Amino acid sequence: DQQVKQNSPSLSVQEGRISILNCDYTNSMFDYFLWYKKYPAEGPTFLISISSIKDKNEDGRFTVFLNKSAKHLSLHIVPSQPGDSAVYFCAATYNAGGTSYGKLTFGQGTILTVHP
Amino acid sequence: DAGITQSPRHKVTETGTPVTLRCHQTENHRYMYWYRQDPGHGLRLIHYSYGVKDTDKGEVSDGYSVSRSKTEDFLLTLESATSSQTSVYFCAIRRGTSGLYEQYFGPGTRLTVT
């Protein structure tokens, strides 16, 4: 049972345009969401996160939107740059009184290619 | 840089042999995690630790064991390697405790089981 899904395996965008990466989840207990970026032969790098008490979080060119009723989150990158080309993973976790130990459940990843 | 190193970075081994991967951190964090990354699956949690000698199973723990005898080291052992365990293995630490869930990853170990 895939609790976190990224249904688009790949996305191609022109430099300067907006990149929108999507993620859906099924577990209603999830209350904290994260995005990671991964370059080949490197470990994933934390990008941005959002708590379920918010619907938007912004950090420079990166904005994450959360729609709890639809169990959907998205990552917007504006403007997109060639250096943003990487695999992007969304992840989710829950607190549950501290018993979750911060375990993350990841989506399958989306390969973003930004063309010059 | 989260001060995480993994060793070895690459390993080729034969089916049926035991293999141990090491994760070392320099920042004294309580929580440590082992994930594997496979195409079409993203990252999946194998085992995690919430303190010295405190470990528990993750989503895909069959065939793996872990040990944490000191804060800085978290070892992952494949008791008898199989071809299905060919993967890239990542270790991660969690810097915060309550309310902070960001994990920071090491560079990974690419394991090939022939």
| pLDDT confidence bin for B95, thresholds 50/70/90 | confident
Are the beta carbons of A46 and B33 separated by less than 8 Å? no
Name the residue among A41, A49, A103 with its Cβ closest to that of B102: A49
Give me the DSSP letters along B6-34.
Answer: EE-SEEEE-TT--EEEEEEESS--SEEEE
A29-57: pLDDT as tens digits: 999 999 999 999 999 999 999 999 999 99
Q: Which domain holds residue B51?
A: 4-113
Domains and their CATH numbers in chain A = 4-115 (2.60.40.10)
Residues B19, B111 contacting (CB under 8 angstroms): yes
Quick one: tokens of A71?
């169990």
CA of residue A106 relative to chain centroid, distance: 9
Q: Is A111 on the interface with B (CB under 8 A)?
A: no
The single residue listed with the structure tokens 């993350």 is A104
pLDDT value at residue A8 = 95
- pLDDT at residue A1 in the model: 73
Examine the pLDDT at B87 and tell me if it is beyond 90. Answer: yes
Among B59, B90, B99, whose Cβ lies nearest the Cβ of A43? B90
For chain A, strand residue ranges (E) read: 4-5, 10-14, 19-25, 32-38, 45-51, 56-59, 62-67, 72-77, 86-93, 105-106, 110-115
The one-letter code for the residue type at B61 is: S
How many domains is chain B built from? 1
At residue B40 the predicted structure's pLDDT band, cuts being 50, 70 and 90, is confident
Q: Domain of B86: which CATH number?
A: 2.60.40.10
Pair A73, A33: CB distance under 8 Å:
yes
**Which residues in chain B have Cβ-Cβ distances shorter than 8 Å to A29?**
none
Residues of chain A predicted below pLDDT 70: 96-99
